[in-house]
Amino acid sequence: MSDHGLRAKIIKELGGLYPGLYSDQNVALVATHSHAGVGGFASNLLPQITSLGFVPATFDAIVAGTLVAVQKAHANLELGALSVGNTTILDANINRSPSAYDANPAAEKARYAFNVDKEMSLLKFLSNNGTQRGFLSFFPVHGAWSSR
């Protein structure tokens, strides 16, 4: 998962590499949420406590790796198009606290079909010749556990 401090540092560095091009207004940093990933990079107190403090080497490695990825992508820019799609995905995510959700007013719960968002949106990047170049997905996931 990402962090405000990481985002600020990456955007500052991108500003130095590409003055006037990449900014807080046009950069999307996304990350997979994992409880098994590296720690010590977050600027917030709670994640620092659970990873035994801030680790500059971890923070710097994430920034450096992100900058390399952006530089490679930037070097391969080409004209293209975007497409967007939405779908409902069942049995892929769970509400970690159904009892807390159930404490919401009935009128609030009636607005939704499920106790967690099941809608996935996808922004797909295509080159002008139709080659898929990448995607940006939006789907709230805490994986569903199953004994199956």
Question: Could you state, in order of their start, the residue ranges of all structural domains in the chain?
Answer: 4-75, 80-138
Query: Residue type at 111?
Result: R
* Structure confidence at residue 49 (pLDDT): 78
For the stretch 73-122, pLDDT in tens is 999 999 999 999 999 999 888 888 899 999 999 999 999 999 999 999 99
pLDDT at residue 145 greater than cutoff 80? no
Return the percentage of the chain with pLDDT > 90, whole number: 60
Q: Provide the whole-model pTM.
A: 0.75
Region 132-141: mean pLDDT is 87
Q: Is the dihedral of CA 76, 78, 27, 12 positive or negative?
A: positive
Q: At what angle do helices 4-17 and 56-75 cross, to 10 degrees?
A: 50
C-alpha distances (whole Å) from 118 to each of 129, 140, 143 are 33, 8, 12
